[in-house]
Amino acid sequence: MASCTEDAGGGVKDVYGESRATEDQLVTPWSVSVASGYTLLRDPHFNKGLAFTEQERDGHFLRGLLPPTVIPQETQVKKFIQLIRQYQVPLLKYVAMMDLQERNERLFYKLLIDHVEELLPVVYTPTVGEACQKYGSIFSHPQGLFISLKEKGRILEVLRNWPEMNIQVIVVTDGERILGLGDLGCQGMGIPVGKLSLYTALGGVRPSACLPITIDVGTNNEKLLNDELYIGLRHKRATGKEYDELLHEFMAAVKQNYGEKILVQFEDFANHNAFDLLERYRSTHLVFNDDIQGTASVVLAGLVAALKLVGGNLADHKFLFLGAGEAGTGIAELIALEISKRTDAQVEEVRKNIWLVDSKGLIVSSRKESLQQFKKPWAHEHELITDLVEAVNQLKPTVLIGTSGQGQTFTQAVVEAMASNNEKPIILALSNPTSQSECTAEQAYNWTQGRAIFASGSPFNPVEIDGKKYVPGQANNAYIFPGFGLGLIMSGSIRVHDDMLLAASEALASQVSEEDYEKGLIYPPFTNIRKISANIAANVAAKSYELGLATRLPQPKDLVKLAESCMYTPTYRSYR
């Protein structure tokens, strides 16, 4: 029997037989190698939509494939930001942004850069958390590489399937601890994709040099395992030897395929794996854990800046953490290193002024035997306290930092205790997304009569009390990691050293202006983020050269200028 296509008149001849093939026959996925005509309009790297000029439309076979009008990129940006603003639901804004990224890469980044403060919460926290939770239902096209247990023994081959070879940054997750939302398995891919879009928008790293990867070893999330739309492996998480072998093969393959200077950023791994991976690979690879090191660097910068508002030195302050996981212990350790460096005191001695509370209460010496390794340095001599208000009243900290992932744990009693002990209590509620924040900006300012110096992990709107406006800061890792990564790339660093994190913190703190301080801010506005990233990159690169870890020699004279000149700009290119 003849197929229906054989009788059709006109049209393009079915050379390869795709239209005639029955469902059980194999077809060859032919593709055109030179981007022109219809293919060019569907290539996100080169597509410009209605911005193609008359000459480009003639030269690239676009006549008739586009409406006749030609509009500049600036007008396209206006059109799309109006479109995004029409969506009331944040997740729909996220889907629209991801859709644009897949259609027109340069317009996506231009839009994100021009409206960074408005769109950052859409492509990153808090909306990215909901996107990961619902990734199976909103999934339309794959982004990045998915490496699962099925690919064990073939990871190098999988890496070579990626179309770009000149990769400079990989962000990788195993989805076990996504923000404060727990185990989302394979659906954690939203995090590497979001982080790398910020590497480009905020740090100027070329999109083609970025590779998001999710390592799927299963999930312990029963809800996902029973969800027919779940996109990952449907079994419990692999652990122990099986897990370690897969990760080791991955790290070896990355180095073999991309070389010594490839930056691997670990993202949202569970505590035990996060510390182990960082410890295992920091001496052999260029690795960075944003949850441990990035968070620590951005918080330290905020604390250094806050000294301008409260006076004194870091060494004069006492710190109390709620949460003793990756973020909490990472921040605590970097604070101790900074104080030690500035005072010449031993780190062990400095740690005694830094107290941590975990799910079982204050970390004290009597608990040492049962503590995980990374918590042991913070076990000091004191009676066990299980109540946070009691811990505040007894220890009298000047700085309260929340990294617990538990919403509303800085209760009114806790915040009022901080206010009664301090004229200007520093309160940092860092858990993400907004629903998991230890307290809101409004609560912090109201319960301290506007005296608190407050910053959070996710954004909060300004608060007005008795006619006075208070603008909360956001201790967002996006201040640090894009510039930090750019500094490593432009210096050709082969390892990450803790002194580079201190250099990044100092650079960020120096970008807070007098005008910002007058508003009570301890972080600069995101509108200047590219300038901030360039300064962080320059400071990090300078430290890399000083430590002998840089390979791009000789060292350039003006590192800030070099950082700015290295940055990717998303304005459209003209095609010959």
Active site residues: 124, 195
Neighbours of 23 (CB within 10 A): 4
Structure tokens at 41: 């309009």
Q: Which two tokens stand for residue 136?
A: 């199976």
The first and second tokens of residue 189, run together, are 């891919």
Q: How far apart, in whole angstroms, are the C-alpha atoms of residue 1 and residue 212? A: 48
Compute the Cα dihedral for 34, 38, 43, 49 and give only its sign.
positive
Rounded distance, CA 507 to CA 353, Å?
25
Evaluate the CA torsion angle 46, 48, 51, 54 in order and state its sign. positive
**Look-up: residue for tokens 């640090």?**
480
Structure letter (DSSP) for residue 376: G
**Separation between Cα atoms, residue 98 and residue 101, nearest integer Å:** 5
Dihedrals phi, psi of 131, to nearest 5 degrees: -60, -40
SS3 214: strand
Tokens encoding 288: 């960075």
Dist. CA 444–CA 412, nearest whole Å: 8
DSSP-derived secondary structure letter, 236: P
- CA 72 vs CA 77, 78, 227, 273: distances in Å: 9, 10, 44, 48
CA distance 466 to 429: 23
DSSP 65-103: TS-S----HHHHHHHHHHHHHH--SHHHHHHHHHHHHHH
Q: How far apart are CA 127 and CA 525, in angstroms?
A: 20
Residue length of the chain: 576
**φ/ψ bin of 218: left (φ > 0), alpha (ψ from -120 to 50), beta (otherwise):** left
Q: What one-character-per-residue DSSP string does 112-139 give?
A: HHHTHHHHHHHHSTTHHHHHHHTHHHH-
Q: Quote the Cα angle for 40-43-49, to 5°.
A: 65
399-402 β-sheet, strand order: 361-362, 354-358, 319-322, 399-402, 426-429, 453-456, 473-474
CB distance 528 to 321 below 8 Å: no
Q: Let me know: does 213 contact 154? Beta carbons within 8 Å.
A: no
